[in-house]
């Protein structure tokens, strides 16, 4: 296969995903309503409970709405990753996934293209969310909106790879909602998306340890620091490692000779 074939396949998959996203306006709206609701409604109560301001991980005190903004960005990417995996299950039931997987290209490359497409959609959603938050004076440094892009790409691919891994285990569309709830809500609430790690430690040592090693927490911290022109090396290494593990497991899961697809009799 020539490089041109890989290039056309990649942009064909990305273009299909973007076109699907544009046509599904309710998906775009729902992706924004959820974090905006947390930002403008629930944050008021949480801020009152925690106090008007909090310090870590920055030297200056910041409002609670500013603190949870990276967590809500992570929420957008987490739900988008699960939504992308839902479309994988749907395509498999409809038969279009079989057409994709029998293409004369490496299966890992096709899955990686699907992952890039889903990540591109999530990054678009994030910047629209940041734009709305900026209108309400929830701002980051101007350079931070550029610095955060690599962090968004890595965190989006990590969470998308997790979604791909889950989709390799799910045979029927009806079973997906339960699996999503089983993954999304524990990952989100047992993380640093809403509370700083030191605050969690005050309430529960066990919850502190879970939140600390939660891949979603590390993705959120990577975004949080990048948004303020800082680089969190620990979060970067952890998020990158989680991406490699999830993506490798997903590729194996979609391998007809080694993965779950053969054992279920589902084929590609």
Give residue limits of the domains in the chain: 3-264
pLDDT over 50 (residue 268): no
DSSP tag of 63: E
pLDDT over 70 (residue 79): yes
The pTM for the full model equals: 0.82
Alpha helices by DSSP H, listed for 61-191, are 64-94, 96-101, 107-135, 144-169, 176-189
Q: What is the mean predicted confidence (pLDDT) over 108-113? A: 85
Instruction: Give the N- to C-terminal CA distance of the chain in Å, as an integer.
Output: 21
Q: Are 76 and 35 in contact (CB under 8 A)?
A: yes
pLDDT over 60 (residue 259): no
The pLDDT value recorded for residue 23 is: 73
Mean pLDDT (the chain) is 79
pLDDT tens-digit profile of 157-196?
Answer: 999 999 888 888 777 666 666 777 788 888 988 998 888 8
Higher-pLDDT residue of 115 and 264 is: 115
Handedness of CA 133, 134, 136, 141 (dihedral sign): positive
pLDDT over 60 (residue 151): yes
pLDDT band, very low/low/confident/very high, at 48 (cuts 50, 70, 90):
low
The token pair at 38 is: 């947390």
Across 96-105, 193-202, 235-244, 249-258, least confident range: 96-105
The token pair at 3 is: 């490089």
The pLDDT value recorded for residue 182 is: 81
Q: Are 191 and 211 in contact (CB under 8 A)?
A: yes
């Amino acid at each position: 296969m020539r490089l041109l074939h890989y290039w056309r396949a990649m942009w064909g998959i990305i273009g299909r995903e973007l076109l699907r996203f544009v046509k599904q306006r309710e998906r775009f709206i729902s992706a924004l309503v959820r974090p905006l609701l947390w930002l403008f409604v629930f944050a008021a109560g949480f801020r009152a409970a925690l106090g008007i301001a909090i310090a870590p991980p920055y030297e200056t005190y910041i409002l609670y709405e500013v603190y949870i903004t990276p967590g809500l960005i992570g929420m957008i990417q987490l739900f988008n990753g699960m939504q992308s995996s839902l479309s994988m299950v749907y395509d498999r039931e409809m038969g279009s996934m079989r057409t994709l997987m029998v293409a004369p290209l490496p299966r890992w490359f096709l899955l990686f293209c699907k992952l890039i497409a889903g990540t591109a959609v999530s990054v678009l959603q994030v910047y629209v969310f940041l734009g709305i938050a900026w209108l309400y004076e929830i701002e980051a440094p101007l350079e931070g909106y550029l610095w955060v892009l690599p962090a968004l790409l890595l965190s989006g691919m990590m969470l998308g790879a997790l979604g791909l891994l889950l989709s390799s285990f799910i045979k029927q569309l009806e079973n997906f909602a339960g699996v999503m709830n089983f993954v999304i809500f524990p990952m989100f609430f047992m993380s640093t998306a809403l509370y700083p790690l030191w605050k969690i430690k005050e309430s529960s040592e066990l919850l502190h340890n879970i939140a600390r090693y939660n891949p979603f927490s590390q993705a959120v911290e990577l975004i949080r620091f990048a948004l303020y022109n800082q680089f969190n090396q620990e979060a970067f290494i952890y998020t990158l490692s989680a991406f490699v593990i999830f993506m490798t497991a997903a590729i194996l899961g979609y391998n007809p000779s080694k993965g779950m697809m053969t054992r279920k009799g589902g084929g590609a």
